[in-house]
Amino acid sequence: MQTRRKILGTAVLAAPALLLGGKARAGSKGILKIGYQKASVTLFLGKAKGAFEAKLNPLGYDVEWAEFTSGPPLLQALAAGAVNFGYTGEPPVIFAQAAGAPLVYVAATSPSPKAVGILKPAGSRLETAKDLAGKSVAVAKGSSAHYLLVSALQHAGVPYASVTKVFLQPADARAAFAKGAVDAWSIWDPFFAGGQAAGGQLLTDGTGLLPNRSYYTAGKVFAASSPDALNAAIAVINDLEHWELTNPAATAAAISPAIGLPPAVVEVWLKRSKYGVNKLTPEIFAGQQQIADTFFKLGLIPSQINVSADAWNG
């Protein structure tokens, strides 16, 4: 079990540049420190367009950016104050809450169950999730793909303990998958689309297994002191998502160099992602609570939590 102290220490290693710098310019009300990852297409697009700076600078806020490999290290950085606004999948927020991270849920995306999947190598004899018993699966611990694996095994009647979990970040997981060091790979987009383009075959996606929402979260102190910055950021995201929906090819071309995948592969990801930034509702939190309760029953988080206790009221 990770203590909060350990999490904060890890965050210092995860984002040293932000912790060492980050001073606001004279006259600034503060800094919106955005944590993003390759799954956050809208933040990548906003960074490329300078859209957040254009909206936040006139309000008196500077904007800084820090990229992370996945949601868990991003939220470790948020817990340490290295970033104060970020985007992750469902499970990372739960793991952070269970560790006592001072964060709030700000908004939720629409469900995209087809944007996460379990891949098998070409020629594999695996046919369904039931065949994963006794096999090894590469997955990032505490990620949306981790919950996909949990849910897929539950639905197939396969004990979680019967599968060897090889906890790796996406780049290392892809390498292990490519050289046959694991039997399967549970992964989210755009790495999912990249794995398919490289020859990985679909064992199952998230349809019927998880909502696969993502969440925008913020540090509690920043959320309490700078609600105008968060509302402005969500407004930017809504505008960007509308543009993405009507310009998928241009979106893929704009972010492809930063993502490190060809535009055609990025478009595969965009086509199976659902757009829309939603206010937090009891229904959304009910789905998130189900994930939290499942992780607790498996002993993956140390205690039961009430996910909606950290809802932002701004």
For residue range 224-241, list pLDDT tens digits in order.
Answer: 999 999 999 999 999 999
**Tokens (6 digits) for 192:** 């999912």
Pairing type for strands 85-89 and 214-219 reads antiparallel
Asked whether the predicted pLDDT for residue 188 surpasses 50, the reply is yes
For residue range 35-49, list pLDDT tens digits in order.
Answer: 999 999 999 999 999
pTM > 0.75: yes or no = yes
> Which of 6-10, 92-96, 191-195, 222-226 is predicted with the least confidence, judged by mean pLDDT?
6-10
**Tokens (6 digits) for 189:** 């987009």
Q: How far apart are CA 2 and CA 50, in angstroms?
A: 36
Question: Phi and psi at residue 99, in whole multiples of 5°?
Answer: -90, 0
Compute the chain's Rg from CA coordinates: 19
Using alpha carbons only, give the angle 223, 40, 312 rounded to the nearest 5 degrees. 20
In this structure, are residues 236 and 108 in contact, taking their beta carbons and an 8 Å threshold? no
The highest-level CATH class for domain 113-205 is alpha beta
Whether 4-111+213-310 and 113-205 share one fold: the answer is yes
Where residue 24 falls among pLDDT bands split at 50, 70, 90?
Answer: low
| % the chain with pLDDT above 90 | 89
Mean pLDDT score of the chain: 91
Question: Phi and psi at residue 263, in whole multiples of 5°?
Answer: -55, -35
In this structure, are residues 67 and 252 in contact, taking their beta carbons and an 8 Å threshold? no
For residue range 280-307, list pLDDT tens digits in order.
Answer: 999 999 999 999 999 999 999 999 999 9
Q: Where are the domains of the chain?
A: 4-111+213-310, 113-205
CATH H-level superfamily of 4-111+213-310: Periplasmic binding protein-like II (3.40.190.10)
The letter for the amino acid at 264 is A
Where residue 6 falls among pLDDT bands split at 50, 70, 90?
Answer: very low
Q: Which residues contact 205 (CB under 8 A, 6 or more apart)?
A: 113, 114, 115, 116, 117, 118
